[in-house]
Amino acid sequence: MSQTLSAQLRLREMILNGELTPGERLSEPSVAERLRASRTPVRAALARLAEEGLVEAIPSGGFAVKSFSEEEIQDAIELRGTLEGHAARLAAERGAAGGTLAEMRRLIERMEEATCPPLNEAGFTEYVALNAHFHELLVEAAGSAVVARQIGRVVALPFASPSGFVLAQSALPASQRVLVVAQEHHRAVVEAIAHREGARAEALMREHARLARRNLELVLRDQNSLRLVPGGALLRRRSWA
Give the pairing type, strands 63-65 and 25-26.
antiparallel
- Which stretch of DSSP H or E encloses residue 26? strand 25-26
Same domain, 126 and 107: yes
| Domains in the chain, number | 2
Number of Cβ within 10 Å of residue 110's Cβ equals 16
DSSP structure class, residue 237: -
Residue 204 lies in a domain: yes
> Domain range holding 35?
3-65
Residue 235 pairs in a beta bridge with 68
Here the CATH number for the domain that contains residue 24 is: 1.10.10.10
pLDDT in tens, the chain (241 residues): 689 999 999 999 899 888 999 999 999 999 999 999 999 999 999 999 998 889 999 998 889 999 988 888 889 899 999 999 999 999 999 999 999 999 999 999 999 998 887 777 788 788 889 999 999 999 999 999 999 999 998 888 877 888 777 766 666 666 677 888 999 999 999 999 999 999 999 999 999 998 888 877 777 777 677 777 777 778 876 654 3
Residue 241 lies in a domain: no
pTM score above 0.85: no
Return the exposure string of 60-73: e unless at least 16 CB atoms fall within 10 Å of the residue's CB, then b: eebbbbbebeeebb
Same domain, 126 and 207: yes
The residue among 20, 43, 65 that closes a domain is 65
